[in-house]
Structure 1
Amino acid sequence: MLALGVQQAQAFESFVVEDIQVTGLQRVELGTFFTYLPLRVGEQLDDVRAPQVIRALYRVGAFESVELKRIGNKLVIEVLERPTIATISFDGNKQIKTEALLEGLKPMGFDKGEVLNPAMLTQIVQELEQQYFAHGKYSVSIKHKVVRLSRNRVDVRFTIKEGDAAVIGQINFVGNEVFSDEELTNQMELTTGSWLSFFTDDNQYAKEKLSGDLEKIRSYYLDRGYLKFQITSTQVSISPDREQVYLTINISEGKPFTLRDITIVGDLKVEEESLRSMIPVVSGDTYSAAAFTFAETNMAKLLGYYGYAFAKVVSSPELDEEKQLVDVRILVDPGKRTYVRNISFEGNETTNDHVLRREMRMMESGPLSSDVVDRSKTLLERLTFIEEAKVETPKVEGTDDQVDVEVKIKERNAGSFTAGLGYSDLYKLQLNAGVSHDNFQGSGNRIAFNINTSKAQQLYSFSYTDPYFTTDGVSAGGQVYYQETDPRELNLLGDKTSKLGFRFTTGVPISEVSRLTFGVGWQDSSFAVNSGLNVLQLNEFFDRIGHDFSQDSTFDYTYTTLDVGWLRNTLNRGIFADRGTYQSASVSFSVPGSDFQFFKLNYELKHYIPITEGWSVLMRAELGYGDGYGDGQENQRLPYFEHFYAGGQGTLRGFERNTIGPRSIRRISQSGITPPGDGGVTPPIFLPPEYDQLVVESRSSVGGNTRVLGGLELIFPTPFAEDNRSIRTSLFVDVGNLWDSEFDRTRYSNLIEFDKIPDYSDPWAFRASAGLAVQWLSPMGPLGFHFSRSIKSEPGDEEENFGFTIGQTF
């Protein structure tokens, strides 16, 4: 077409152009066209210049054809514009997403809205093939089709047959003498494959993986002092059938270097010894690049702690190749001390700014410290209504010592309302209604009102907590409640209990991560027992306090309790933490003058150890002990209704709720003779053998005064929800035991079948279970599920393979 245009241009004689007319323009503006045209009105056009004009217009790339015509002294230029790309589609691409393919083509000018150059399509296909080659897909086949549309537009469609990825047949190292092929291959992500490769794809070649592996090998040598190490070349060869890849890595190891001297220079701002303490190696050690990278990072953090947020620390080795020694010079450039200009929040649609600002550990116009930036982020994410907080510190334009602190918040649903019927494995059919909010009206305060009616329990409660009752972080909260319980539905002892009470708590911070807690509570309770229950431990307890159920089937008691506790929390998040430690210790005791005088000690530990992204280990421990105090006979032991219990979610999964530890011991007469006592209600503990009394262990638990629980969990990313912070899965092992340290088995030695009574004071009769747990912060509230199996049990334990709960399970 260019030749045709030139021949036509040569067909007219030379003339002076008095006017120029352009036809065929659609997208190109006329004014823009004239900027491309190397000819102006009044200039001479001849058979030499005409081809030059045509070539210049073709070079623009926007025209498919150009033709020059003469009408008198007027030049007529007829053009046909190249079509624009309306859409680009791919069919058959699975390995590489469409977005990634398009992104790789943009540098070539191939994108929606761009002009299509048909000659470029071959190069476009080659570029697509290169993208697949980088992923090991060497047998890929790509075809293209151009579909014409109206208004000079086209659709470009690619059909891709990816084929199978080439697997690595062999990895060879050439030049390695110090470390074996196996040692070097173990540093690589790419392998020749194993039975796990079906899931991990670690035997499929990818250019990016190889680049990363070469850096790992380089670091492996540099961390062991081989400063002259080099990867001289890398060859990637493909088998004729394009199904296997062979890697050959040529290296030059050199010799290891020993540290001779380490000097720190620059404007240090802090004591040199403090900086030197960040260096994990000394003179005489083998050089390690990782050690100095570690030192650079921690020196910069130390300077950042003192307000030099943009400090630069660079180490440079100076080699003495003759002696195989290295001197390391560490240059410290702290820069200027940095100050905060503004603190702003984005994304907090519900939460008031002041609720977030009070968690920030820096102030506007104050110095910026990297430590307080990290600390502020952690404190924000500990709020249960904040899912994620990102803190950025961009420099203020025009200054070199000021930054703005910009906090991007992702809120979590903090409120929930429930009403209707429900069902659980513990409480069976239940009617419940409640409303709770951890961020009431954006204030950060928690309010909750709950009604729960089930076969086992009726609960009505109202609570309110203000975590910042004072500006210094002193918290205050209170709860009012009424509860009726049928213990038999919970595998406990008794007929009916009711509790009416209130509780007030406050917390006083003593450090950034620790606080003391104080509480006072009052409770009025009623305990009812079936007259035919006839349980040895229960009879003994009420005999000791002088209550005769033959006269009164209920027992009422009131007491006031005081609590003192200590809490230390370094967890990185309030919900689904994955690093840090939570510890709490408390003592609760009834005040003198209460119907019962007792105390209870509790300790709880949760320690998270991060392994890698999404993976962590949780170690748990919980200790509890209670006893009575005072001179009266009724105060010599912990009251029965204040006992600890174990089994089920929250204590020992794999066992039914409240079924671990001491069980009730009943007396049953085979002969039908009623034992001595009024109505058989409270017969003496020891009976003569003529009553043919049997001692049996029932299903009902009586609890104990000592509890030890522990556990280990491996937390891993939830399949298909790896980036979702509202769901967590883990493999767990639970271990623990519950016992009564005051239980004296010999006191029942004269009863028939005494050998059936276990020793409930044995602390070594522990239980253990293992399983899978799933926790989900659903729109309805926290849900917990576990699939478990006991791996160590005691005779009579009730096992449970599946359980679920609704409530706080984190």
Structure 2
Amino acid sequence: MEKQANNSIKQTQYTTRLYLKLLLLLLFTANGFAQETSFEDGKDYILGGLSVTGLQSYNEQTVKTYTGLRVGQPITIPGDEISAVIKKLWSLELFSNVEMYYTKIEGNEIFLELNILERPTLSNVTVYGVKKRKVEDIINDTDLKKGKKITESLIANTKNYLQNKYKKQGFLNAQVQIVTASDTTGTNTENMVINVKKGDKVKIRNIVFDGNEKLGDKRLQKSLKNTKKKKFYRFWKKSKFIEADYKEDLSSLVDAYAERGYRDARVLNDTFVKVDENNIDLRIKVEEGDKYYFGDINFVGNSVYTDRQLSQILGIRKGATYNGVLLKKRIADDTKPDGQDLTNLYQNNGYLFSSINPVEVSAVNDTIDFEIRIIEGKETFLDHVTVVGNDKTNDHVIFRELRTRPGQKYSKDNIVRSIRELGQLGFFDAEQIAPDIQNPDPNAGTVDVQYSLVESGSSQIELQGGFGGGGFIGTLGLSFSNFSLKNIFNGEAYKPVPMGDGQTFALRLQASRTFRVYSLNFSEPWLGGKKPVRFNLSLSRTQQFATNFNNQGRIDVDRDRGFAITGVSAGLAKRVQWPDDFFTISHSLAYQLYDFNDFNNGLFNFGNGSSNSLSYTLGISRSSQGPSRIFPLSGSNFELTAKFTPPYSWFSGKDFKQIKTDINDITTRLFELGPTPGTIEEQIEFNELSNELERLEEERFKLLEFYKIKFKGDWYTNLVDKLVLRTNAEFGFLGSYNNDIGAVPFERFFVGGDGLGNFTLDGRDVVQLRGYENSSLTPFSINPITGNQERDGGTIYNKFSLELRYPLTLKPSASIYALSFLEAGNAFNNFSEYNPFELKRSAGVGLRIFMPAFGLLGIDFGYGFDRDANPNSTGPSGWQTHFIIGQQF
């Protein structure tokens, strides 16, 4: 209060002094000075002194310096110098009042006083009516930073911005009030309070059309993509009124007429009627005009392509109903970078500077004739191709994927394809790959292209622990998808490992009391560095130990008994140019040693001995999905593989028919005796037959022979915005060359569950089918030795799925998308039992999170509508929860 009183006294003293000065000035001019010197013409003086009054926070000398006035300089009063100083100070928007006075005149010297009134400074902002997490966004968007000068325009602009912001969101009744109050804790500072009253969203109760006879109300309502009237069942498109969307939809309404021949259709007027605080009615009056048809369409200025070639791309024939929207798309389709249109035809073949314009040359009755006027321009070639933003990835890894090279003809299609290839690498954020066309020179016919990249994490670590299989399971996995093998002995390249050459190196260790898994994988995508030939090398070792339950019900592990798989595989995959350059042909050679030591888990009828598998795999695949491999928006991915072993039985000389007969006879007798024979003689016979069965089984599968055919196809369809439909179909078949040997106990199909392979490396395919427990759709069989029902794996399966995906965020730090799915599939013992329509169905929802450091994580909730393959199951599988870790995209 004392401070305010002092300020008031000072202001009174200043006002009194000002009035005295004005009085002296009037007396002075009344004595004849004004008659001798015209103020209109101005009089020349020497500036004798300048003082600044009214300052509260600024330094007087700083203001004097900014005016540009210097003591001793000539000055005209009144004149341009004083006007310029006042205008200059006003332009700063730091002062609410600026005035210049002269205090005295001594001879030809004049003394001036600059009086200013500072604008208050913003101290603090409080926002009411919005969520706390939104306050910071409002302050940032309106630039209400501490220390900012408070002006009328700042308050008005802030109020208008917030009201428009909420109106765009459908809050048409939004009100914003802004008040300021003095902050006594600072000098000339004020606090600001913003009170936001959004109210309820205004909904569209009804949309009324007037003047429409050719197109019905339903057709016109459908053309309004984002403006919908209120319906109880409407979820996807809300019925709120957003002015920007509404104006855009009015253009879509006119396009709906133009697509049906009504070229002259227009919206005469549109209004909305307020029904109540929360509802409005829209009234749209249209004028339809007459229906038109295409007449002659002639091409002018074309020399590169013939009229016939251009007509085929245009696809519009004389006599067809006029369609202005289609004509525009066939000239240049802005919605598709790779669209089939005339502009892309030229730009994909070197004519960057071409221009194509359709011109109406006549309109007689209901027929419109067109000329397609073409300026082809000079053929364009790429001069420089550069990349920026790759801090980790070496340039040669990027350039080898580009379809644009210096000296080549300019091709828009090649640029689009280059974006896809860079996105598929997984080293960069696919959403931020931006080609920049630079230095276009129509006279020289050259242009530069620069690709701007944003590096994303290309290494993943898997470190987890949990309980399962009777004990603790620990996993350590390291995956480097941008590895550099040549720098492995270069200590300076470890950041934390050598990176940048696009190679893949993965190491995974998993262990528990009952099993151990070691695997190492290396991949070089450009073997030799000149052609896209991928080399893969994989080493693996799995050990599974025998277990028994002790008297306390706990699991005892016997490490002297177990089952081990040792495997090595190498492969080459080459991208080919035919049928198109999305195809890849792959070859791989693999060897697995299956070693049993007094171990029988039901899948194999022998517990001692070994099996050997030497196989060759031929694969044909086509992958055009993109642009991102994490969340593809379009394209497809097909893969057909055929895996073969040599047909050893054809030249081994063994009588497998007799072996099969002996096995069947022994199996029948074992079932008769049962797993627990009653007499000593039967027990002896049971043991002898069991040993003989194991010997025969080992002999039958000493050298594994089989062939395995698999097909998998994925289609990605962009429905609207970034809503994507993924359609999937899969099929697999495991066959044998010799019916007397039959299907091998390895390489089988286990259907159901999350689709994660866990630690099994016996060649099996673990097929995801959500809504069911893991492998629960796999056929059962009875072990003749133990008498237990056990899953042997199917030899044939098929699966179909529909998955609707929508991204929540696709940022480099984390890509998150939600999904819903419908799935159906099943596995069968053999081809004679196969029925492609006997499917187990499920539906559900899920969420996926991809973080570069940890890979893909997710959760699915699926409901199985059918019972699983267990003979004891009586009802549907019901709800199942699946956790996804590191699964394929």
Q: TM-score normalised by the shorter chain: which range applies? A: 0.7 to 0.9
Partner of 2:399: 357
User: Could you tell me which amino acid in structure 2 is paired with residue 509 of structure 1?
Assistant: R
Q: Residues 302 and 564 of structure 1: is their aligned pair in 2 closer, same or farther, counting only changes over 3 Å?
A: same
Partner of 2:860: 786
- Asked if 1:514 is matched to 2:583, the reply is yes
> C-alpha displacement at 1:167, in angstroms?
3.1
Distance 1:772 1:363 in 2: 45
- Asked if 1:796 is matched to 2:833, the reply is no
Partner of 1:209: 245
Show CA shifts across 1:386-411 (max 9, x none): 33152323331776633332222233
1:142-161 alignment, distance < 5 Å: 142-145=177-180, 147=182, 156-161=192-197
Distance 1:232 1:766 in 2: 57
User: Could you tell me which amino acid in structure 1 is paired with residue 393 of structure 2?
Assistant: T
User: Could you tell me which amino acid in structure 1 is paired with residue 717 of structure 2?
Assistant: I
- Asked if 1:315 is matched to 2:348, the reply is no
Distance 2:846 2:212 in 1: 47
Higher mean displacement: 81-90 or 649-658: 81-90
Distance 1:774 1:52 in 2: 67
Aligned residues: 733
Distance 1:436 1:50 in 2: 72
Partner of 2:506: 448
Partner of 1:736: 825
Higher mean displacement: 52-61 or 454-463: 52-61
Show CA shifts across 1:513-561 (max 9, x none): 1121111112221246768x8x7x966xxxxxxxxx6xxx413122321
Partner of 1:302: 345
Contact 2:159 2:176 in 1 (8 A): no
Partner of 1:569: 623
> C-alpha displacement at 1:337, in angstroms?
2.8
Distance 2:260 2:475 in 1: 64
Contact 1:21 1:75 in 2 (8 A): yes
User: Could you tell me which amino acid in structure 2 is paired with residue 734 of structure 1?
Assistant: E
Candidates 394, 413, 435, aligned match of 2:457? 413
User: Could you tell me which amino acid in structure 2 is paired with residue 191 of structure 1?
Assistant: K
User: Could you tell me which amino acid in structure 2 is paired with residue 503 of structure 1?
Assistant: S
1:645 match: secondary structure: strand
Distance 1:577 1:120 in 2: 44
Partner of 1:686: none
Partner of 1:504: 570
- Asked if 1:771 is matched to 2:837, the reply is no
2:523 match: secondary structure: strand
Q: Residues 421 and 6 of structure 1: is their aligned pair in 2 closer, same or farther, counting only changes over 3 Å?
A: same
Partner of 1:700: 790
- Asked if 1:340 is matched to 2:382, the reply is yes
Partner of 1:224: 260
Partner of 2:644: 589
Partner of 1:281: 316
Candidates 538, 542, 545, aligned match of 1:479? 538
> C-alpha displacement at 1:80, in angstroms?
0.9
User: Could you tell me which amino acid in structure 1 is paired with residue 350 of structure 2?
Assistant: G
Distance 1:72 1:323 in 2: 86
Contact 2:204 2:239 in 1 (8 A): yes
Show CA shifts across 1:161-213 (max 9, x none): 2333333344332322222333322322223312256x668333222122112
> C-alpha displacement at 1:31, in angstroms?
6.4
Distance 1:288 1:742 in 2: 54
Q: Residues 625 and 256 of structure 1: is their aligned pair in 2 closer, same or farther, counting only changes over 3 Å?
A: same
- Asked if 1:184 is matched to 2:215, the reply is no
Unaligned runs of 5+ in 1: 490-494, 540-548, 668-680, 683-695, 744-759
Candidates 420, 442, 446, aligned match of 1:378? 420
User: Could you tell me which amino acid in structure 1 is paired with residue 232 of structure 2?
Assistant: W
Candidates 569, 576, 579, aligned match of 2:634? 579
Partner of 1:271: 306
Show CA shifts across 1:74-101 (max 9, x none): 1423321442654684623649977997
Normalised to the residue count of structure 2, the TM-score between the two structures is 0.73
1:186 match: secondary structure: helix
Distance 2:265 2:140 in 1: 36
Partner of 1:194: 231
User: Could you tell me which amino acid in structure 2 is paired with residue 434 of structure 1?
Assistant: G
Identity among equivalent positions (%) equals 19
Distance 1:598 1:363 in 2: 46
Candidates 710, 717, 721, aligned match of 1:609? 717
Contact 1:467 1:476 in 2 (8 A): yes
Contact 1:57 1:63 in 2 (8 A): no
Contact 2:130 2:196 in 1 (8 A): no
Partner of 2:799: 709
Q: Residues 136 and 501 of structure 1: is their aligned pair in 2 closer, same or farther, counting only changes over 3 Å?
A: closer
> C-alpha displacement at 1:579, in angstroms?
1.6
Higher mean displacement: 245-254 or 79-88: 79-88
Distance 2:440 2:272 in 1: 48
Partner of 1:749: none
Q: Residues 484 and 765 of structure 1: is their aligned pair in 2 closer, same or farther, counting only changes over 3 Å?
A: farther
Partner of 1:659: 776
> C-alpha displacement at 1:576, in angstroms?
2.9
Candidates 87, 91, 102, aligned match of 1:69? 102
Partner of 2:492: none
Distance 2:259 2:617 in 1: 54
User: Could you tell me which amino acid in structure 1 is paired with residue 861 of structure 2?
Assistant: F
Contact 1:85 1:115 in 2 (8 A): yes
Contact 1:559 1:591 in 2 (8 A): no
1:17-56 alignment, distance < 5 Å: 17-19=45-47, 21-24=49-52, 26=58, 29-30=63-64, 33=67, 41=74, 43=76
User: Could you tell me which amino acid in structure 2 is paired with residue 138 of structure 1?
Assistant: N
Contact 1:566 1:586 in 2 (8 A): yes
Normalised to the residue count of structure 1, the TM-score between the two structures is 0.80
Q: Residues 319 and 457 of structure 1: is their aligned pair in 2 closer, same or farther, counting only changes over 3 Å?
A: farther
2:454 match: secondary structure: strand
Show CA shifts across 1:679-704 (max 9, x none): xx59xxxxxxxxxxxxx8x5411123
Show CA shifts across 1:142-162 (max 9, x none): 232254685656555433323
Q: Residues 707 and 63 of structure 1: is their aligned pair in 2 closer, same or farther, counting only changes over 3 Å?
A: closer
Distance 1:12 1:131 in 2: 58
2:240 match: secondary structure: coil
Distance 2:595 2:647 in 1: 20
Contact 1:659 1:700 in 2 (8 A): no
1:273 match: secondary structure: helix
Query: CA-atom RMSD, angstroms?
Result: 4.0
Contact 2:589 2:617 in 1 (8 A): yes
Show CA shifts across 1:212-248 (max 9, x none): 1211111111111211112222224445x64443433
Q: Residues 453 and 268 of structure 1: is their aligned pair in 2 closer, same or farther, counting only changes over 3 Å?
A: farther
Show CA shifts across 1:40-60 (max 9, x none): 9464659xx999999979986
> C-alpha displacement at 1:607, in angstroms?
1.4
Q: Residues 21 and 505 of structure 1: is their aligned pair in 2 closer, same or farther, counting only changes over 3 Å?
A: same
Q: Residues 662 and 72 of structure 1: is their aligned pair in 2 closer, same or farther, counting only changes over 3 Å?
A: closer
1:90-129 alignment, distance < 5 Å: 91-92=127-128, 94=130, 117-118=151-152, 125=159, 129=163
Q: Residues 10 and 90 of structure 1: is their aligned pair in 2 closer, same or farther, counting only changes over 3 Å?
A: farther
2:325 match: secondary structure: helix
2:743 match: secondary structure: coil
Partner of 2:752: 647
